[in-house]
Amino acid sequence: MPFLIAVLLSFIPALFYAAIVYWLDRFEKEPLRLLVGAFGWGAFVATLGAIVWSSVLQLGLEIFISDPFLIDLTGAALVAPLVEETLKGLAVVIIFLAFPHEFDSILDGMVYGAITALGFAATENVLYLYFGGYAEDGYPGMIALFVLRVILGGWGHAVYTAFIGIGLAVARLNPHWPIKVIAPLLGWTMAVFLHALHNAMATVLAGSLGGLVATLMVDWISWLVVFGIVIGEILREQRWMRLYLREEVDLGTISEEHYRTAISIRGQARARMRGQTWRRFYEACAELAQKKHQLATLGEERGNTARIAALRAQLSLLAPSVGAV
């Protein structure tokens, strides 16, 4: 029973946070099959890999370092961030390589990174809550770790790995090869740095209320920065909608009412509640705007013209069934 409680206390909030990430992707939702796969990779593949490789590297550290505190600090601030961010980032890299057409914006990369990381955090928290909480201090220890790790620190992993998604998305959407190489490396470096900073502060300042507050303040500031990036990306996608869908009204692909709903966050939210046809229609509107932007900035690339034509045909087919909101 205690282990089941640890599972529920870890996975239910993680799925709730994942739902928030999905909701924040306001215009063109990512395929659920890819998001489920990313979450599963984080929860099982990345977690198991992190246990194995961190243990191996930790044993290696003990050969060269004798001081217990220094071993803990090096493991927490160097080994764990390098191993965990690399393994979580692999899921985003796989999606990036196998489904490049799904990386239509910076926000898309952030979504894949965050969802993968939330899966990782869910399983990691199960282990902490049960073995580090209940096994040592019973239910009070489990609840204390739940508050600390899941409530106060619940967005940590998601924020770290979101930077890997940002780096890959920048590479995907930029025509210059130096950027395509540098951006993913910078994204991974930022993820490792923020993870290492958190772990180092948590290790060095452990045991004091001031240390806990300082660590949380640094974490929350980074979360606010990432949330600001998310808001900026949502507004940028909205500008693409205004710019590129205006032509579709003139072409007769969509109506003026469709256009006003498509460029409105609130209008889209209301429209999507009216059923699958409405959701497909407005997601196709968003994808059309994104593909037109890619055609304008990247050229033909991977068949952008054909995708635009297919999306226009889809909208023309669905439009008669989608009325005014």
pLDDT tens profile 168-221: 999 998 888 899 999 999 999 999 999 999 999 998 887 778 888 999 999 999
The mean per-residue pLDDT over the stretch 17-25 comes to 94
Residues 15 and 142 both lie in one domain: yes
Q: Which ranges in the chain belong to alpha helices (H)?
A: 2-24, 32-40, 47-64, 68-74, 80-98, 106-127, 135-145, 156-173, 177-204, 209-251, 256-262, 265-272, 276-298, 304-318
Rg of the chain over Cα atoms, rounded to whole angstroms, equals 22
Total domains present in the chain: 2
Instruction: Assess if residue 215 is contained within a domain.
Output: no
User: What confidence score (pLDDT) does residue 269 get?
Assistant: 83
Which structural domain range is residue 277 located in? 238-321
Residue 39, classed as helix, strand or coil, is helix
Whole-prediction pTM: 0.92
Percent of the chain with pLDDT over 70: 99
Judge whether 249 lies within some domain: yes
- Read off the DSSP letter of residue 273: T
Residue 104 domain flag: yes
